[in-house]
Amino acid sequence: MIPEIGHFALVLALLLAIAQAVFGLGGAARGQGAWMQAARSALAGQFVFVAIAFGALALAFIERDFSVLYVATNSNSELPIFYRIAAVWGAHEGSLLLWALCLAAWSLAVSALSTSLQAPFRSRVVGILGLISIGFLLFMLTTSNPFERLVPAAIEGRDLNPLLQDFALTIHPPILYLGYVGFAVAFAFACATLLEGRLDVTWARWTRPWTLAAWLFLTVGIALGSWWAYYELGWGGWWFWDPVENASFMPWLAGTALIHSLAVTEKRGLFKSWTLLLAVTAFSLSLLGTFLVRSGVLVSVHAFATDPARGLFILGFLTVVIGGALLLYAWRAPLMKSTAGFEPTARESFLLFNNALLIAALALILLGTLYPLFMDALELGKISVGPPYFELVFLVPMLPLLALLGVGMHATWKRGHLQPMRNRLLGLALAVAVAALVITGVVYGDIRPLATLGFALALWVMGSSLMIPIARWRARQAIPGAVLGMVVAHFGFGLATLGITGVQSFKVEKDVALAVGEAATIAGYDFRLMELRDMRGPNFAGVEGTVVVSSEGEVITTLHPQKRLYNSGGNPMTEAGIEVGAGRDLFAALGEDLGQGRWSLRIQYKPLIRYIWLGALLIALGGGIAALDRRYRRVVAAQPATGAVAPEASR
């Protein structure tokens, strides 16, 4: 009965989403207040029914209702309750439901918190979000119904993919989806702006906090995924450039470009049409990414074709939403004229470079990700584009981006005014160059050019960020949220660069074969395998090793890497043993039983790797601080359509 209630709730949610779209867009077009009101009520109803459907599916998992196909495929009775709930979004159908729930939640938040928007504009935003909801709900109901019954019911379920039975990965998808779907708000704002042909830039101010919020969730989601890959996949890598990762990284790059470009549009009335295009692009990439990954078209074109109904629906939906928005853009964007000028050293120039470099990186990553698809479509065979390509095309735009960032933060709008900062910045440049040489030369004992450059740029960005609060503090000036957020996020970006440089340049990885009692040495650390014992978990059995790590005779830590075999079958899973340190991680993962008491062991020394994720968290924190800036909460209903700078705009 419960699954049928869930199914029925989805149907009702679809009907309400249709009402939301029709009344929202129709009401705004006809200037009917009652219709606009109805659209908002329909949205509230849509959220309630999607939530009921989500609850029904969760209940089916909790009660182990193996008569539901999706439950039987993705859980079993031994699976702990925590993972049974997480299994709701463990596969295609349920993650679509989570998407729909996140979308409805964001829509409701926009509708409830945007009371200061002009009624027709707000109504159009609600209507466009309704159109997107229709697409998702229809997709679910026609091709991917999570409530489909299994007749006869299964006695036991097949279990959740063991790779997904992990804390970070249970919270990773919801957070990532909040990010993906959050860009729908910026998308809806952009489309509503284009529909109305608005020439003023208030929409940029309205969009900024929402975009920042979505972007911060996406940042945290990506960082969680990277962290999970590091300790769970057993290879000790933190980024693999596979299509799934790229699918989340590309909207992030577009979103990063968007939050910077929105600043220019809001403050100076420039880049108007470009910002609108970025808002459309960020969400389009979220949609494209989710669907391409979910349908498996990038991993294998054949998966796309195995379910032609799904493939066709995906294509149709993508074409309508993205194509529609881009045509709307082609029609309306020529109206948006930016007239204000600026000096070459003004903040506008730096943000222009920021956008150009981020979009260049994005375009090259998109090309690499879709290249196999193009080759296959042109009947040139199926191939993989490897990390060497992605690392190169990402590194090349990032180096100038970091270098310019350190200067650009201090440039003022319109005129630049870098002169007063010149000596301090030159001093900082000299200091970071020396510091980077000391780090590579003394600490790591190898002055590699790229590593030295990486450390210098990382310290450059961190130091340059800190100069802003220090100067304000000395002048006894208050620091507004937007500025503080920028400082924290840029400092985090520098910190992440520091971590990436450290681990990519000076990591040591070794695969060794050890019997109990034997040891291997890397980077001055002795890894001694002390013990191997059998162990049991709730739904798995396995082997746990005890590895004692010592340096110069002193014991530093004891690691407990595990090899797990889940009762439901499948590949053995690796749980790495990791000692976390401020300067480095020590990592041991069990490989294979080589017979005669020997095991292959992967031991690693990972300098500074923590700072990658710590930096990412600071980036997200900065986004949060900026989004909560008081300025966004006293939104003025209408602002003149000029590019004039308000006196306070030197922020």
How would you classify the pairing of strands 525-536 and 519-522? antiparallel
Nearer to other proteins by Cβ, of 8 and 389: the residue is: 389
For 518, the token pair is: 């034997």
- Cite the beta strand spans of 447-583 per DSSP E: 508-515, 519-522, 525-536, 540-551, 554-559, 562-566, 573-575, 577-580
Is residue 329 a contact residue for other proteins (CB under 8 A)?
A: yes
* Cβ distance to other proteins smaller for residue 168 or 328: 328
Q: Please say which residue, 315 or 356, places its beta carbon nearer to other proteins.
A: 315
| CB-count burial class (<10 Å; 0-12, 13-18, 19+) for 51 | middle
334 binds other proteins (CB under 8 A): yes
Phi-psi region of 296 (alpha: psi -120 to 50; beta: other; left: phi over 0): left
- Output 311 or 416, the one with its CB closest to other proteins: 311
Residue partners of 424: CB distance under 8 A and separation at least 6:
467
**Binders in 511-530 for other proteins, by CB under 8 A:** 511
**Closer residue to other proteins, CB minimum distance, 214 or 322:** 322
| 377 sits near other proteins (criterion: CB under 8 A) | yes
Instruction: CB nearer to other proteins: give 37 or 161.
Output: 161
What is the spatial distance between Cα 576 and Cα 561, in angstroms, rounded to a whole number?
5
CA-CA distance, 606 to 231, in Å (whole number)? 12
Among 323, 341, 441, 517, binds other proteins (CB under 8 A): 323
Task: DSSP letter for 411, please.
Answer: P
What's the closest the beta carbon of residue 28 comes to other proteins, in angstroms?
23
Say if residues 253 and 284 touch (Cβ distance below 8 Å): no
Secondary structure (3-state) at 581? coil
197 binds other proteins (CB under 8 A): no
Q: Does the footprint of other proteins cover residue 318 (CB under 8 A)?
A: yes
**CB under 8 Å to 563, separation ≥6 — which residues?**
542, 543, 544, 572, 573, 574, 575, 590
> Amino acid identity of 239?
W
Instruction: State which of residues 11, 312, 430, 555 lies at the interface with other proteins (CB under 8 A).
Output: 312
Looking at the Cβ atoms of 170 and 275, the one nearer to other proteins is: 275
Q: Which of residues 228-267 bind other proteins (CB under 8 A)?
A: 235, 240, 242
User: And the tokens for 183?
Assistant: 């860009």
Residue type, 77: S
Exactly one of 381, 524, 553, 569 binds other proteins (CB under 8 A); that residue is: 381
Residues forming beta bridges with residue 302, ordered by sequence position: none
Q: What is the DSSP string of 254-281?
A: HHHHHHHHHHHHHHH--SHHHHHHHHHH
Judged by CB under 8 A, which of 52, 150, 299, 516 binds other proteins?
A: 299
Note whether 546 and 530 are within 8 A (CB).
yes
- Smallest separation (angstroms) from other proteins to the CB of 477: 42
Q: Which amino acid is at 115?
A: T
Could you tell me if 289 and 250 are in contact, meaning their C-beta atoms sit under 8 angstroms apart?
yes
Q: Which two tokens stand for residue 642?
A: 């000029």
Residue count, binding to other proteins (CB under 8 A): 56
Site string for other proteins, 592-631 (x = CB under 8 A): x-------x-x-----------------------------
Token pair in block for residue 402: 């970091």
Taking a C-beta distance cutoff of 8 angstroms, is the pair 222, 176 a contact? yes
* Lookup: tokens for 623: 């986004």
* Region binding other proteins by CB under 8 A among candidate stretches 71-79, 306-314, 411-419, 442-450: 306-314
327 binds other proteins (CB under 8 A): yes
Dist. CA 365–CA 250, nearest whole Å? 7
* Piece of the chain touching other proteins by CB under 8 A; list 50-58, 376-384, 437-445, 628-636: 376-384
Asked if 327 and 285 touch (Cβ cutoff 8 Å), the reply is no
Residue 183 interacts with other proteins (CB under 8 A)?
no
Give the DSSP letter string of 347-374: HHHHHHHHHHHHHHHHHHHHHHHHHHHH
Beta bridge partners of 510: 603
Q: Hey, what amino acid is at 457? A: L
Among 383, 392, 438, 470, indicate the residue that binds other proteins (CB under 8 A): 383
What character string, x for contact with other proteins (CB under 8 A) and - otherwise, covers 553-592?
--------------------------------------xx
Pick one of 326, 453, 467, 614: the residue that binds other proteins (CB under 8 A). Answer: 326
User: 49 vs 239, which CB is nearer to other proteins?
Assistant: 239
Which one of 44, 154, 315, 565 is in contact with other proteins (CB under 8 A)? 315
113/320 with CB nearer other proteins: 320
Q: Token pair for residue 309?
A: 């109904």
Segment lying near other proteins (by CB under 8 A), choices 261-269, 367-375, 452-460, 606-614:
367-375
d(CA 485, CA 210): 15
Among 5, 12, 333, 404, binds other proteins (CB under 8 A): 333
Single out the residue of 77, 319, 642, 650 in contact with other proteins (rule: CB under 8 A). Answer: 319
Q: Does 370 bind other proteins (CB under 8 A)?
A: yes
Minimal distance, residue 322 CB to other proteins, in Å: 6
Q: Which residues pair with 214 in a beta bridge?
A: none
Given the complex with other proteins, which of 366 and 618 has the nearer CB atom? Answer: 366
Residues that bind other proteins (CB under 8 A): 235, 240, 242, 273, 277, 280-281, 284, 297, 299-302, 304-305, 308, 311-312, 315, 318-319, 322-323, 326-327, 329-331, 333-334, 370-388, 509-511, 591-592, 600, 602
